[in-house]
Amino acid sequence: MPDTSPSTMISLVRETVLPDLPADFGAEADFFEAGLDSMGVMQLVMFLEERFAKKVEPEELSRANFRSGKALATLVNEKAA
């Protein structure tokens, strides 16, 4: 089963949309304050679908679900449950 921890999510965000995310970026630190925008969110959605085979529904496309590594991990884990 793939690792869906907050730190993995932060690595994914760094890999896909925010390459300059600091190494010590915390699990609850705000991706939007770090520069995540709507385009980046859509790229993340695509990436999550490819990596975890999880389809993100339109109603799940909220700032709250993409705000931090912890929030993103919760979203992916809830979809796995």
Interface residues with another protein (CB under 8 A) are 37-39, 41-43, 45-46, 57-63, 65-66
Could you tell me if 73 and 8 are in contact, meaning their C-beta atoms sit under 8 angstroms apart? yes
7 or 14: CB nearest another protein:
14
Least spacing, CB of residue 45 vs another protein, in Å: 7
Tokens 């190494």 belong to 23
10 or 41: CB nearest another protein:
41
Query: Which amino acid is located at 58 in the chain?
Result: P
Least spacing, CB of residue 79 vs another protein, in Å: 14
Distance, in Å, from the CA atom of 17 to the CA atom of 64, rounded to the nearest integer, reads 18
